[in-house]
Amino acid sequence: IIAYAMVAFANGVVGQFYVLYAYSVIKLTVWEWAWVVSAQLLLTSVLKIPGGWLSDRFGKRKIMIISLLTCAPTAILFTLSQSLIQVMIVALLLVVTGIYYAPAHEAIQADLAPRAMRGRITALWDISNIASAGLGALIGGFMFQSINPTAPFYIFTAVELAAAVLVIGMLKEPAIKEV
């Protein structure tokens, strides 16, 4: 739950600021950004189903770690982008690297949670994610506006890497799954 709350926080920090950064710093047009978002949605639709298969085949913990470690630097790569092509590549890379974390986490959470407590654990998980994302958005907005437009993207990377360290150090897949 803590690792996922960290990911929710990291996404909250940058979520609303990709478009602002693309428009105000990179100077993409509204139509160019529309192409980027459309390509992301299309790729997300194509990759969703294979994500579950990958988690089952290679292990949920491994997929979570790979996702965190590969997704973390994409935010910084976004700040280094200077053209539509660069933004498009990074935006699609963000989808490819980040899409598999949530399904793997949800599956491992179900594997770890005793059936009698799943409802309460899911409620705690949802509340912690909403609070984390909200706090992230607040901090991201402050950083974007008051410190530097690139600051939220660096915070995203740092928090994603910290979540990876937490998952690597503390999360173990259960030998026997809760049913």
Q: What is the pLDDT of residue 178?
A: 56
Q: What is the pLDDT of residues 106-130, one digit of tens each?
A: 777 777 777 777 788 878 878 888 9
Helix axes 118-142, 2-14, angle to 10 degrees: 30
Q: Is the pLDDT of residue 179 over 70?
A: no
Q: Is the pLDDT of residue 96 over 80?
A: yes
Q: Is the pLDDT of residue 147 over 70?
A: yes
Q: What percent of the chain has pLDDT over 70?
A: 96
Report the Cα 56 to chain-centroid distance in Å: 20
> Residue 149: phi, psi to the nearest 5?
-60, -20
Cβ burial of 30 (10 Å; 0-12, 13-18, 19+) is: exposed
Query: Considering only CA atoms, which of 116, 155, 148, 151 is closest in space to residue 132?
Result: 155
Q: Is the pLDDT of residue 74 over 90?
A: yes
- Please tell me whether residue 46 adopts helix, strand or coil conformation: helix
Q: What is the pLDDT of residues 25-60, one digit of tens each?
A: 999 999 999 999 999 999 988 887 777 777 778 888
Whole-Å CA distances, 64 to 116, 149, 171: 25, 28, 10
Mean pLDDT of the residues in the chain: 88
pLDDT confidence bin for 69, thresholds 50/70/90: very high
Most confident of 5-9, 113-117, 152-156: 152-156
Q: Mean pLDDT, to the nearest integer, of 166-179?
A: 75
pTM of the model: 0.86
Angle at 118 between CA 169 and CA 126, to 5 degrees: 75
Q: What is the pLDDT of residue 22?
A: 95
